[in-house]
Amino acid sequence: DMVFGFVFSQMAESQASAEVPEFNLSEFLGLTSEMRITTIASPEMILTKLIRVFGDDQRFTLSIAEDMKNEMLSNMGAGRKEEYNSPSGLAMLFDQSGGKITPAMAE
């Protein structure tokens, strides 16, 4: 604010009281936002990704998502570079984490 202090301070004060709707670039462009699975993804995000990619299945639980997160961290610690965002990469991680491949994964 030191360079533009006066101008932006006045704008910030006037906009602070106004309700600004949240802007979503993906929605604006008509795209579906992709959830990227990395070692910093939460188990909840992993579970959501499983359901989005393969559909709802009783084998998709928070517990298996936590195991998948631990497997990713283990792979990283062992120096293995794996890809988890494609359907095949996600299915392989699910299998390595103790899950049983579902019919949707086998397709």
Other Cβ atoms closer than 10 A to 59: 13
No. of helices (H) and no. of strands (E), the chain: 6, 0
Q: What is the pLDDT along the chain (107 residues), one digit of tens a residue?
A: 455 555 555 555 555 556 667 888 888 888 877 888 999 999 999 999 999 999 999 999 999 999 999 999 999 999 999 999 999 999 999 999 999 999 999 98
Question: Is this prediction's pTM over 0.85?
Answer: no
